[in-house]
Amino acid sequence: MIEEADDVWLEALAGRVAPARVSEQSRALALEAAALREFIREQVSASSLGVPLVSAAREEELIARARRDGLLVSYSTDARARRSVRRLSLSAAAVLVVAVGIGVWRAALPPPEVVRGVDHGTVHMEARDPAALKRQLTDELEAAGVKVSGYERLGRVGIDADLPQPVSAEVAKILERHRIPIPSDGALVVEIASEPR
């Protein structure tokens, strides 16, 4: 008689021992193994007869029943696609509104500097921050290799610079960016006043 628990279970699963032939303590194990053996044999015989182990129709029936009972929420792919398109459209519209708003706001701002004219070779400009514009012009021209000296008189700040003749392309771009005409004699004098409020 087999009495080790593992051996009883394995022998009953293999069909070599009947549950009635083991002791009372091992009978539950033998019955469990015999039930498992019978289940496996039924599965094998069903698949050998051409009966599918998985039924698509049965799955669909179970899914439909679960939806009816409220266990599954039905989301159609069309509804998901519409929601995705709606979200993308709203995002694109928001970006467009922000871009247009920034453009309108920037267009409404007064220019940071205005050239008022040239009088006796001196370029007269107005800026919100004259000292900052003076520093910017000085830095840009010096970076292009021009010797610049700054000054302040009668509430106006300015720069004097001797431009190379002919004026280099880099210096011409700087002057063009600030709308300053290129002096014919190479002597650049710029006076910057505060913008009237």
User: Span 188-192, mean pLDDT?
Assistant: 87
Q: Are residues 123 and 186 in the same domain?
A: yes
Q: Are residues 124 and 157 in the same domain?
A: yes
Which residue do the tokens 């496996």 mark? 40
Q: Are residues 96 and 44 in the same domain?
A: no
Q: Are residues 23 and 90 in the same domain?
A: no
User: Span 28-53, mean pLDDT?
Assistant: 78
Range from 40-49, 65-74, 185-194 carrying the lowest mean pLDDT: 40-49
Q: Are residues 126 and 95 in the same domain?
A: no
Q: Are residues 156 and 178 in the same domain?
A: yes
pTM value? 0.42
pLDDT at 151: 86
From CA 61, how far away is CA 48, in angstroms rounded?
25
pLDDT digits (tens, 9 = 90+) for 15-28: 888 888 888 888 88
Q: Are residues 118 and 190 in the same domain?
A: yes
Q: Are residues 55 and 96 in the same domain?
A: no
User: Span 3-31, mean pLDDT?
Assistant: 84
From CA 106, how far away is CA 98, in angstroms rounded?
12
Q: Are residues 105 and 119 in the same domain?
A: no
Domain count, the chain: 3
pLDDT digits (tens, 9 = 90+) for 140-169: 889 988 898 888 877 778 888 888 888 888
From CA 42, how far away is CA 39, in angstroms rounded?
5
Domain stop point among 88, 109, 130:
109
- Considering all CA atoms of the chain, what is the largest pairwise distance in Å, rounded to the nearest integer? 127
pLDDT digits (tens, 9 = 90+) for 85-136: 888 888 889 999 999 888 887 766 555 666 666 767 788 888 888 888 888 8
pLDDT at 53: 64
Whether the predicted pLDDT of 6 surpasses 80: yes
Q: Are residues 132 and 189 in the same domain?
A: yes
Range from 2-6, 14-18, 90-94, 181-185 carrying the lowest mean pLDDT: 2-6
Q: Are residues 92 and 140 in the same domain?
A: no
Mean pLDDT, the chain, as a whole number? 81
CA angle 125, 129, 134 (to 5 degrees): 60
Domain stop point among 67, 94, 121:
67
Q: Which domain holds residue 48?
A: 5-67
pLDDT at 114: 63
- pLDDT tier at 194 (50, 70, 90 boundaries)? confident
Q: Are residues 49 and 14 in the same domain?
A: yes
